Amino acid sequence: MSETRGGEPSAQKDGLRSLPLSGHVGFDTLPDQLVNKSIKQGFCFNILCIGETGSGKSTLINSLFNTSFDDSMSTHFHPNVRLKAQRYELHESNVRLKLTVVSTVGFGDQINKEDSYQPIVDYIDAQFEAYLQEELKIKRSIFNYHDTRIHVCLYIISPTGHSLKTLDLLTMKSLDSKVNIIPLIGKADSISKTELQQFKRKLISELVSSGIHIYQFPTDDEVVSQINTIMNGHLPFAVVGSTEVVKIGNKMVKARQYPWGVVQVENENHCDFVKLREMLICTNMEDLIEQTHTRHYELYRRCRLQEMGFRDTDSENKPVSLQEAYEAKRRKFYLELQRREEETRQKFVQRVKEKEAVLKEAEQRIQAKFEHLMLMHQEEKQKLEKKRKALEEEIALFNMKKANAELLQTQPMVSTPVSLKRDKDRKK
């Protein structure tokens, strides 16, 4: 019921006319409106920090955000790699940032490091999964959903000065399609300047030859493209972190004090910390969030939906096929459920029958025993009857004899009672 007019000869290449305005309309406030809305909502930023124990992760985060997050040093004896996540809320002027820092615990400590990267991949996938689940719900509240997807991964490489470790290669390879990776060289104050250049070159060439995609700062926007290109050439950043302050001149600066000198964290000649902070927070935070959402999340979503069996088949079946697929799946699931229920019920009936049989048998046995006992009881009784009768007869006989004896006693001599007595005793 709607037609689009616009086939003027002066049409632009996308078929849309560009109209000149004859006065101030006022929609140039649109970006501000948008920004105000975002300020009200607050921003969410999630950082994943991967590095071996003692590589300086916590100190780096503390230095980056100029605050001290609670962290005690962790031991080297964890049996497997875990992830520790903590949420913080930072305020600066009118911006509220909900920062989540996830760091690995026990990375690179185990003797067998085969499974080291798996928990990390699982965690990242779990965050994508949670978002996907929320998006697929019927009644969803996606606009105030607290986004937990990891926006950037700071990978801290140990400052050996030689090359990437196998563990690093493996981990980064498994993560590069899921998250924006920014490789850093931690504790860079242990490498000299010349060694550092060589090390960086070696690292970059290794990354390229292994086909690992690290995050490139965007160079398509004129405002930031120049600085981003320069920064891209400085990757990986060699950083030093510190939360202690040292007095240099008349200023207190974050630094590490050695007997041979002071390494200043925010001095560009000493390390790339300032560059990292610039790039990460001031210039590209928004881009990191966007890349995560439009590239990594979409990839995950695509793979996952295909896994679940959905397809975008022909052009007229698009949404229907999704729902039909849902339908089919639900039906299949329900049938499966029914089948399992039947099975369980059959098994149950079977078991009941068996048990009944067993019980019946037992009952019969008991019955037989009972009858047998009854029989025996009867026999015993009869025996006793007989004995009783016999005894009674004997008593009767004895009484008769007694009567006879008493009769004789009234007539005869003295000796008979004695013999009678003896007889009586004998008889008894």
Chain residues 317-346 in contact with other proteins, contact rule CB under 8 A: 318-320, 322-323, 326-327, 329-331, 333-334, 337
| Residue 168 phi, psi (nearest 5) | -60, -45
| Residue 6 in the binding site for other proteins (CB under 8 A) | yes
CA-CA-CA-CA dihedral for 344, 347, 349, 352, to nearest 10: -120
Binding window for other proteins (CB under 8 A); candidates: 10-18, 178-186, 384-392, 395-403: 10-18
Count of residues of this chain found to bind other proteins when the rule CB under 8 A is applied: 111
Beta bridge partners of 50: 155
138-197 binders of other proteins (CB under 8 A)? 138-140, 143, 146, 148
**Closer residue to other proteins in complex, CB, 127/180:** 127
What element of type H or E holds 129? helix 118-136
209-248 binders of other proteins (CB under 8 A)? 221, 223
Q: Could you tell me the smallest distance in angstroms from the CB atom of residue 14 to other proteins?
A: 9
* Binder of other proteins out of 195, 244, 268, 298 (CB under 8 A): 298
**Residue closest to 55 by CA, chosen among 152, 165, 214:** 165
* Binder of other proteins out of 76, 162, 201, 302 (CB under 8 A): 302
**Closer residue to other proteins in complex, CB, 66/382:** 66
Within a 10 A sphere around the Cβ of 15, how many other Cβ atoms? 10
**Residue closest to 92 by CA, chosen among 61, 63, 67:** 67
DSSP string, 209-247: HTT--PPPPP--SHHHHHHHHHHHHHPSEE------EEE
Q: For other proteins, what does the binding mask look like between residues 111 and 130, x meaning CB under 8 A?
A: ----x--xx--xx--xx-xx
**Closer residue to other proteins in complex, CB, 8/425:** 8
369-428 binders of other proteins (CB under 8 A)? none
| Residue 286 in the binding site for other proteins (CB under 8 A) | yes
What element of type H or E holds 170? helix 166-175
**Closer residue to other proteins in complex, CB, 9/31:** 31
Q: Could you tell me the smallest distance in angstroms from the CB atom of residue 45 to other proteins?
A: 8
**Closer residue to other proteins in complex, CB, 157/240:** 240
Residues 6 or more apart whose Cβ sits within 8 Å of residue 418: none
What is the three-state SS of 302-351?
HHHHHHHCCCCCCHHHHHHHHHHHHHHHHHHHHHHHHHHHHHHHHHHHHH
Three-state secondary structure call for residue 287: helix
Alpha-carbon 353 to chain mean position: 43
| Residue 47 in the binding site for other proteins (CB under 8 A) | no
Binding window for other proteins (CB under 8 A); candidates: 67-75, 185-193, 196-204, 408-416: 67-75
Q: Note if the bond before 236 is cis, omega within 30 degrees.
A: yes
* Binder of other proteins out of 9, 23, 211, 233 (CB under 8 A): 23
* Binder of other proteins out of 73, 282, 414, 418 (CB under 8 A): 282
Q: Could you identify the residue written with the tokens 């040292």?
A: 246
Binding window for other proteins (CB under 8 A); candidates: 11-19, 172-180, 183-191, 255-263: 11-19
